[in-house]
Structure formats: C-alpha cells, structure tokens
C-alpha cells in the first residue's frame, strides 16, 4: 500500500512586502522544504503548491495566498481535493508566546489565539491536526503586536531564526517519513 500524501502548510502573507517578517516564518520553512525536495511552486487554487517526494513518501508543500487570517479556505480545499484527513497535514505558524527560535510541535489542541490556526480549525471543523509553532519572541509594547509580527527579524535574531527554519524543515521531513510522534520526540523544545 502506498504511503499517504502529507501536506506541509506554512502560513504567512503573500507579497514581497511581507517577505522574511515574523508572521511569514511558515513560508520560510516551506521554501526551505521546496529547496530540499527540489520541487518548484505552481498556483493551485488559492495556494502556491509543490508536490514531490522525500525518501519515497509523497509530500505536498503549501503556501496559502489568502493572507494569514483567511488560510482555512485554501487548506480545506486542498485537504478535500486530496482526500486527506486533518491528521495528514502539518501547519506551521509563528508564535509570540515562545522564545525566538524555539519550536513546539503538537498533534492537536487549541489555537492559542492564532487567527490563522483558528480559521483552519473552523474550515476543517476540527482542532485535531498537527501544528508546529515557531517562536518569534514578544519584544513589543502594549497594542503593538500587529506591527511587531509584520516586522523583519533583527540582526541578532536572524541567525536564531535561520537555525529554527532548518530544524523546522527537518522536523517536517521526519513527520513525512517517520510520523508525528518521532518528529515531536526529536525536535520539540
């Protein structure tokens, strides 16, 4: 029996003005995965999509083009069209509640107030999908969260984030080949 397709979905906002911002760390991980599996992106529905394989296992890489807070429609469309369950996907998001560069993988759970995760949970009618949160720190004043996540990383933060992107990429590949528990055991923290 063939291995099931795994979709790795990085959340972010489309357009060059958002490149390398805190909110787009999910897109950075997807770009790193695209380089690793050597597959380019094509427009598919509401997403940029690359499909390939890693160690004989099929994998789809997704960058929804619907803006972060409306990612659910793009994700639900790809899940439905590919006959997948929520457990076959991994959603990657930024997290202001984690220290810069820290990765946390969970198999299900709440959204932690992340609007992108909330929209996906609403469209899938489930919180039972794997997600990876990547810490982007929280060095912002009261009422400045929206501005903070739309800024690029500082020169001090960028090396930490480059390492986090590599680690996140490897964790996603472990999810594809070895499953969620292995990815969590190897890469959390």
Is the pLDDT reported for residue 134 higher than 80? yes
Helix locations, 22-156, DSSP H? 25-37, 71-81, 115-124, 145-149
CATH of the domain at 168: 3.40.50.1470
- Where in the sequence is the domain holding 175, given as residue range(s)? 6-187
Q: Considering the domain boundaries, does residue 60 fall inside one?
A: yes
Report the share of the chain in percent with pLDDT over 90.
Answer: 92
Q: Considering the domain boundaries, does residue 25 fall inside one?
A: yes
Q: Considering the domain boundaries, does residue 51 fall inside one?
A: yes
pTM for the whole structure: 0.96
Catalytic residue among 6, 22, 23, 131: 23
Q: How confident is the model at residue 1 (pLDDT cuts 50, 70, 90)?
A: low
pLDDT tens digits, one per residue of 161-185? 999 999 999 999 999 999 999 999 9
Average pLDDT over all residues of the chain = 95
pLDDT tens digits, one per residue of 47-86? 999 999 999 999 999 999 999 999 999 999 999 999 999 9
Q: Considering the domain boundaries, does residue 1 fall inside one?
A: no
Q: Considering the domain boundaries, does residue 24 fall inside one?
A: yes
How far is 72 from 68, CA to CA, in rounded Å?
A: 9
Residue 97 is among the residues annotated as catalytic for this protein: no
103-106 vs 131-135, strand pairing mode? antiparallel
Total domain count for the chain?
1
Per-residue confidence (pLDDT) for residue 21, from 0 to 100: 96
């Amino acid at each position: 029996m063939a291995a099931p397709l795994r979709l790795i979905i990085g959340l972010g906002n489309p357009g060059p003005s958002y490149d390398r911002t805190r909110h787009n760390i999910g897109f950075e991980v997807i770009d790193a995965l695209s380089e690793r599996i050597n597959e380019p992106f094509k427009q598919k529905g509401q997403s940029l999509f690359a499909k390939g394989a890693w160690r004989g296992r099929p994998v789809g890489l997704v960058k929804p083009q619907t803006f972060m807070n409306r990612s659910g429609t793009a994700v639900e469309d790809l899940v439905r069209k590919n006959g997948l369950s929520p457990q076959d996907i991994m959603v990657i998001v930024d997290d202001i509640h984690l220290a810069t560069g820290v990765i946390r993988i969970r198999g299900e759970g709440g959204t932690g107030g992340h609007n992108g995760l909330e929209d996906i949970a609403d469209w899938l009618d489930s919180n039972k999908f794997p997600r990876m949160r990547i810490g982007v720190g929280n060095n912002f004043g009261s009422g400045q969260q929206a501005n903070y996540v739309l800024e690029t990383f500082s020169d001090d933060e960028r090396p930490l984030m480059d390492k986090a992107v590599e680690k996140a990429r490897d964790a996603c590949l472990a999810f594809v080949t070895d499953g969620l528990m292995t990815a969590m055991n190897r890469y959390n923290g």
